[in-house]
Structure 1
């Protein structure tokens, strides 16, 4: 039985949500459990003391409410600063910190329920609406680990640095998600993670708004997901958007915002923090892109490019042991890559999957007709149909084993055990029935042991595998014949239910069919035959008029001999025949009197 990647069901989602909520809760209340972090007046602050932004009316010196102007309660006391007992702000900060120590059971349970609700929302979305790759347990665990690391990093920034909370680089995680999966999931992760991080500042609504807008703007402006440098530009634009939002919110809430006063102290500037947080998100996203993709079960682009190197030992093994299968895989790679790119899939992953999917054929290469030489006898001629079917189906299991032993990434291995799905080896099943089925076998003995394609990329490879092989059997190929052949194969896969779990919709299939047909027509284009080919064909009995329709145009040959440049009377011009009496002209290709000039 093949070992395949595990998908997350409702129970797995519940367990994962409980574990994630427990982890986030520990990060949230962890500092409250350390007695050394409790602040005391007259001592140095063990951690940075902060309060959430809380607007309130502040009265003037005479205490007249009508003269009140908008203000807010918000303070940041850096770690290591002396807590002055005579300072009202310090006394307030210490009092607020002590109110939370030790954390109450009810309060901790409330925080846990918040995180559990957010986690369940995310896992439910991934299970019902996410890509098939997002429904894998590995991908969801990696996603929650990335979110937990961002929570931990945010907590450390708040506890041990004097920087404004707007420096939190939350948008890095959605950037990784958008790179590995899609933008839509990146938006959902932004919302969930922003609420989780905002709880660290007791649901600071200003911080929540900044994180939400920065994350969404960064994902929206992340235009090219193939190149890491675009993460930085997306982060810069996300930071600019957040800075504009912050100024607008301050003017709306307080009625004014003094930009120059805010910029006097760059380390405490909230405006610079809004901008810098976006830039920092892009930098972190770019620096840790490859580890983050691996964490979420994806294959980094650099690794995929490395796997396309034809010097890879596994590819060299296939070229040597199963050259026919290798040429089939290369042709498939061109078709599948174009089709996948047309629907917005991972074209490079599909190409790599095409290269490696049939590696199992290198073990018993002679059981596959493409590896037999001219006139070579097939070993199937001496085998029973069920034994032949076993030999054919074995390449799926063997290929999967070889790839895993070769440390090939699992998303690439998936192409090996899904490219035939659970299809029936019809040729040998029909042969078995024609022989009367003496062993009373059923269809299950002739079905591949793999699984149906779980992604758009693996489904396209399954289609192209059959299409490329069938295209070699089309006589006098033209577009109409290719369309009929491709549509027939597609209908057979749909009827067998092999594409049910792939995520391909009818719009995708329509695009795939059109692009594959275009590629087949282009691959089977005609070329004109040159004169030497026409002469050779006539020697073998091909009518000359047939070759003339596809022969190359005559190349103009100009005389560049001395006589042509400096003409003078000759015997031929005087009407006298040559001395030998011959009237035959020199051959067009003669190099004694003529040379070819470039044809422009």
Structure 2
């Protein structure tokens, strides 16, 4: 059978021109990579009864709700979004913009982003007012440390406490009985205590500084005159007691010191004057930190291209502080910069929404995809802001290329490019060298996307990380050579930041796993893992249904060969084909490929047999649900027969009941019809491979006739009406199927038997 053709198509065929590619509302550009088809095309999704009516049959009995809604929710009219979805997108947009602006570093009209040792990237800046020139932070810190180290604190002598302590101890010593000391010894003890207090007793902390040499002298203020005194004679209360105990050799005097608890009575009489010390230290610091010069109003501060030295950096910071102080309370100081930041974010995220709405409308119509893109970009924006706030080179450490890698794996390369550009432009606002930053990050993103077209192994991420490091290093070196003329001023730690960045990129493999679990996406890596025949479900299929397993393997090879030719996702087709018939595990003997001489259908009527055969779709979905197979794999199970019929049992029943108006519903599969190129391709490969096994001969003509008959009949029944497959794709599929089947069923030469030599020849040979 030939495909029905319209007059324009016949004219094109006769003129020798290839027919134009059939366009659908969500058709993708063939230039996109095969990985782009991981996200299925969003088409209006008719229900199974509607598809059956289009095919000329009545609706099939509905499945349970648990298995009925298997078509993706994004197959809908893309010309109009429900108000709920529009509200969700608007709310998501507002949240991401608000959070990004909230955590964005605040700047005013008089604030500049610059780095010491780098060129000034703004226009000429002149002083609008007098600007004092202060010491730079390093010099100021050095002077401050020196002052605090050598500053003499102010102390006072507490004469009242000294007299009180000596008087109280004298009373205690005289009133204590049982002491074996003479009156002269009593006087000697009191005299030594007075001498110690005249020298001075300080607290423990002060004495530790004196003992370590950090406090060689202190000051006393008398009549507004500061007098410096050495601290060598000062003792702590504990050391004073030890001193007294050491100078008295008489046993009775030792007993007297212990019995009168002298160690508890001794208290410091040299006390630090904290208030005066702090005041004098602040005065000394203010004097030391006084401006060393002044830039007068109208004087040039810095011009574009000038290197920001340490002195200029200090002047610029002073200028910003004075400008902020003068601008307090003005609208322009607070609200204009904020308004500019909001507008900046709205424009960039609005551009992202515009791209999705115009060029990737299927993504824009899917809540899950929009949420994924906005979430990952919002989180990485906050991460970049935090890294820049924590480290001076934080933006060089931030692995920006993880965003395009994740979007490439789960969506497509074009969207990955655009999202990466938006991400880089968002973060460029917080760096002083926006052009350099955009150049380096954009090239790194291009390298990441181009080197990771088809991610199927972990080693590919390691290779990509290494290439990204090389790209970072090369771009940074190019910028340095262009600006300074050599690499002598290049900071080595920047390359260390690039190395850390490359290491962090390797963790995107973990993020892929999280994205799959949170958003329900399926990556190529997961598809490769599922295609392993040691997977428990495939192993069970090979053991319980060896014929079905061999059929699935053959269909997988046949369909994947055609998928590469029409731009479909090869890995998705290969994996989906392996699982499309897993429902036959429940009743393997009811399918001819698993039978061994006994056909259980002989004991059943046609309706019962049809119910069992069509039920393998339901059973397959149940097994897929139990095994937690991805949604896109389940679509191959539900769509590989579409809303077609078990034609053998239907025809047999009609022939057996010629006078009955046969209802086709019991003989129909639940559907839906294929919604993507991949599932359409599987339907064709499944039917062609199964039918080819019953061919009496496998000549090239017979194979081509079989392929045309099966595929043309599917198209005539409308089974592929909901799929974005084109007539050109169908023609290519037929060609690939014919080539593969001819290879599978090629004839072999017959090997001749070795004939025995005649007796005469044998005798001659003996002679």
- TM-score (normalizing by structure 2): 0.56
For 2:456, the equivalent position in structure 1 comes to 226
Match of 1:81 in 2: none
Query: Structure 1 residues 324 and 509 mapped into 2: Cα distance closer, same or farther (>3 Å)?
Result: same
Question: 8 Å contact 1:166–1:273 — kept in the other structure?
Answer: no
Checking the alignment, whether the CA contact within 8 Å between 1:422 and 1:452 is kept in structure 2 is yes
Displacement of 1:128: 3.2
Counterparts of 1:351 and 1:585, CA distance in 2? 59
The 10-residue stretch of structure 1 (239-248 or 363-372) with the greater mean CA deviation from structure 2? 239-248
Separation in 1, partners of 2:92, 2:114: 26
Question: Structure 1 residues 275 and 502 mapped into 2: Cα distance closer, same or farther (>3 Å)?
Answer: farther
**Which piece of structure 1 moves more, 469-478 or 503-512?**
503-512
Which residue is equivalent to 1:454? 675
- Which of 427, 435, 450 is equivalent to 1:197? 427
Shift of 1:333: 2.0
Equivalent residue, structure 2, for 1:266: 492
Which of the residues 571, 574, 587 maps onto 1:351?
574
Q: 1:362 aligns with which of 585, 588, 598?
A: 585
- 2:89 pairs with one of 17, 26, 36: 17
CA deviation after TM superposition for structure 1 residue 197, in Å: 3.4
Answer yes or no: is 1:473 the counterpart of 2:694: yes
Give 1 or 2 for the bigger CA radius of gyration. Answer: 2
In the alignment, structure 1 segments of 5+ residues that lack a partner are 40-48, 78-83, 529-549, 558-581, 594-600
Task: Give the whole-Å Cα distance in 2 for the aligned partners of 1:405 and 1:275.
Answer: 44
2:397 & 2:755 partners in 1: Cα distance?
Answer: 72
1:332 pairs with 555, 570, 577, which one? Answer: 555
When residues 439 and 341 of structure 1 are mapped into structure 2, their CA distance, relative to the original with a 3 A threshold, is same
Q: Which residue matches 1:215?
A: 445
Task: Report the CA distance shift for 1:71/1:262 in structure 2 as closer, same or farther (over 3 A).
Answer: same
TM alignment of 1:288-307, pairs within 5 A: 288-292=511-515, 297-307=520-530
Match of 1:561 in 2: none
In structure 1, the partner of 2:385 is 155
| Residue of 43, 52, 71 corresponding to 2:305 | 71
Deviation at 1:477, TM superposition (A): 0.5
The residue that corresponds to 1:570 in the other structure is none
Q: 115, 119, 128: which is aligned to 2:361?
A: 128
Partner of 2:102: 30
Cα deviation 1:413-455 (Å, max 9, x = unaligned)? 22111211232444444455553584663x5554422323333
Give the whole-Å Cα distance in 2 for the aligned partners of 1:552 and 1:192. 72
Paired with 1:206 and 1:226, the residues of 2 have a C-alpha distance of 33
For residues 470-529 of structure 1, what are the alpha-carbon distances to aligned partners after superposition, in whole Å with 9 as ceiling and x for unaligned?
Answer: 11122221222222222332323333443344443445444433332222112112334x
Q: CA 1:437/1:314 → structure 2, altered by over 3 Å: closer, same or farther?
A: farther
CA deviation after TM superposition for structure 1 residue 66, in Å: 12
Deviates more, 1:201-210 or 1:97-106: 97-106
Aligned-pair CA distance for 1:374: 1.6
Quick one: structure 1 residues 527 and 280, their matched pair in 2 at CA, closer, same or farther if it must change by over 3 Å?
same
The reply on whether 1:145 has 2:375 as its aligned counterpart is yes
Aligned to 1:407: 628
SS of 1:488's partner is: helix
The equivalent of 2:123 in structure 1 is: 56
- Give yes or no for the alignment of 1:172 onto 2:406: no
Paired residue for 1:3?
69
Which whole-Å CA distance do the structure 2 matches of 1:180 and 1:414 have between them? 17
Q: Deviations over 1:541-586 (max 9, x none)?
A: xxxxxxxxx22474999xxxxxxxxxxxxxxxxxxxxxxxx98969
Whole-angstrom distance in 2 between the partners of 1:108 and 1:59: 26
**Structure-1 residue corresponding to 2:9:** none
Distance 1:334 1:211 in 2: 40
1:417 paired residue number: 638
Given candidates 729, 736, 746, the residue that maps to 1:515 is 736
- CA shift, 1:468, in A, is 0.4
1:288-347 superposed Cα distances (whole Å, 9 cap, x missing partner): 444445556443455444434444432343334433322221221222233334445443
Distance 1:286 1:500 in 2: 38
Change (3 A) 1:497 1:138: farther
Q: 1-side partners of 2:648 and 2:469: how far apart?
A: 61
Name the structure 2 match of 1:118.
351
Closer, same or farther in 2 for the Cα pair 1:276/1:487, shift >3 Å?
Answer: farther
Report the CA distance between 1:147 and its aligned residue. 2.3
- Say whether the 8 Å CA contact 1:322–1:365 is kept in structure 2: yes
Q: Label 1:287 to 1:480 Cα distance change in 2 as closer, same or farther (>3 A).
A: same
Q: Which moved more, 1:432-441 or 1:321-330?
A: 432-441
Does the 8 A contact of 1:13 with 1:123 survive in 2? no
Unmatched 5+ stretches in structure 2: 1-64, 128-294
Residue deviations 1:16-62, cap 9 Å, x none?
532442342243133379xxx999xxxxxxxxx95698531368999
Measured in 2, the distance between the counterparts of 1:95 and 1:210 equals 34
The structural deviation recorded for 1:162 is 1.8
**1:280–1:308 CA distance, 2 compared to 1 (3 A):** closer
8 Å contact kept, 2:708–2:734: yes
Distance 1:183 1:116, change over 3 A: closer
Deviation at 1:178, TM superposition (A): 2.3
| Change in 2 beyond 3 A, CA 1:69/1:360 | same
Q: Contact 2:448–2:464 (CA<8 Å) still a contact in 1?
A: yes
Give the match for residue 551 of structure 1: 751
